[in-house]
A and B are shown apart, each in its own frame.
Chain A
């Protein structure tokens, strides 16, 4: 469950995604940005990245030996 470069065993790697990656992700699944799971801009990991409202944070999750990406929309 550990993130490879994360600061903590239980915190997977977070980073802010750029527009292109996000657009293809959303188009493939016919989603709107508002449909994504949320993360508060006051969340410790969002603060660390300096993420602002409306940006999307990509989480490199690693559960049960299965790596995948999870996206969260930054909200206030």
Chain B
């Protein structure tokens, strides 16, 4: 970039003391009123529909540990992305198959201490499993004795305790037989250029990344905490910006990306992801008055009085509260009269250092 251009652009730089946070909040909030307030669920559509609109924004900004509809985008390496066969083999290793999806009926025999699982052979065929394979995997995963009887599996528990048999059968139904636990249903997709990729309805990225054929540099999930745990705080911050942007764009709302970046930076400032609210950012405010002005006024004031806390009156809330000028914009500058030889001014100056 040449000097003239740089100089021209620098006139539009944000000045020191500009309340960027408030501007960001207003810039997102105003068009946000046009967003849909409820997510709709349609019956009969197989692919999972991600939460969108206001519920999704609330989920992101509150830093919920698990999104309502986690989705993982698994891109494939140069070999697997061109061949459907290889893509299918990767999808098969991801696709989470639980026992309760394969069993039509479970019959518990309390006198013999057995559980008979009548298989849904159509469902088993769909995930390319035979009864013998299921029995073998089940035995390996649980340690129980399992044998095949026609279209069903008989499990011997060697106990007559009703409670034990019942809890064992509940546990059996929850067992993941194939794929990755928490990865959800995996569906192969093809983009315009004919490249295959996989969408999974879960967010267990830390396991998916270990698979062969997965492009490790592009694995992405809409679960911000999953991204944080696997790739770190900077990736979480970028995921936050990206998800906020995507959600707003879906609703045809145009908000400058830099406003979203301010929000994401504030949320990730402390090294982990903090929600915006009482337990997150606002809870960290140092000023007693600011905390008391927000919620639980008496509790904060009593605590502050008990422990003799000091309020330096550096924030916005507490200065509005007492009717002083707020330390933003032109208010962020302080003036002192320098009278030569006056030691008092010198000492005041030291106290009033900005920030």
Contacts and interface: CB of A to CB of B under 8 A. Distances in A.
Interface in A20-75: 30, 35, 37-40, 43-46, 59, 61, 63-64, 72, 75
Nearest to B229: A44
A11 B271 contact: no
Interface string B206-242: 0000000000111110000001011111110011011
Nearest to A14: B234
A46 B242 contact: no
Interface in B217-274: 217-220, 227, 229-235, 238-239, 241-242, 257-258, 261, 265, 268-272
A65 B337 CA distance: 45
A51 B238 CA distance: 21
Contacts of B238: 1, 10-12
A43 B271 contact: yes
Contact of A45 (B227, B231, B242): B231
Given A63-B257, A64-B257, A11 B235 contact: yes
Contacts of A7: 216-217
B217 A43 contact: no
A8 B261 contact: no
A37 B235 contact: no
A57 B261 CA distance: 19
A24 B235 CA distance: 27
B233 A40 contact: yes
Nearest to A37: B269
Contact of A43 (B233, B242, B258): B233
Contact of B258 (A11, A64, A72): A64
Contacts of A1: 238, 241-242
B232 A45 contact: yes
Given A10-B238, A40-B272, A43-B271, A63 B261 contact: yes
B271 A8 contact: no
Given A9-B217, A63-B241, A45 B234 contact: yes
A37 B265 contact: yes
A35 B353 CA distance: 15
Nearest to A1: B238
B257 A46 contact: no
A8 B269 contact: no
Nearest to B16: A29
Nearest to B218: A9
Contacts, number: 72
Contacts of B258: 63-64
B232 A46 contact: yes
A40 B231 contact: no
A8 B233 contact: no
A6 B272 CA distance: 20
Contacts of A9: 217-218, 220
Nearest to A29: B16
Contacts of A39: 232-233, 271
A8 B217 contact: yes
B214 to A, nearest CB: 12
A8 B265 contact: no
A59 B217 contact: no
Nearest to A44: B232
Interface of B: 216-220, 227, 229-235, 238-239, 241-242, 257-258, 261, 265, 268-272, 354-355
29 contacts: A1-B238, A7-B217, A8-B217, A8-B231, A8-B235, A9-B217, A10-B227, A10-B231, A10-B238, A10-B239, A11-B231, A11-B232, A12-B238, A14-B234, A30-B354, A37-B265, A37-B268, A37-B269, A37-B271, A39-B232, A40-B233, A40-B271, A43-B232, A44-B231, A44-B232, A45-B233, A61-B234, A64-B258, A64-B261
Given A11-B238, A63-B261, 7 more contacts: A9-B220, A10-B238, A14-B234, A39-B233, A40-B272, A44-B229, A72-B271
Q: When A and B form their complex, which 7 residue pairs have the shortest distance between CB atoms, in order from nearest?
A: A38-B271, A45-B232, A10-B235, A44-B232, A43-B232, A10-B238, A40-B271
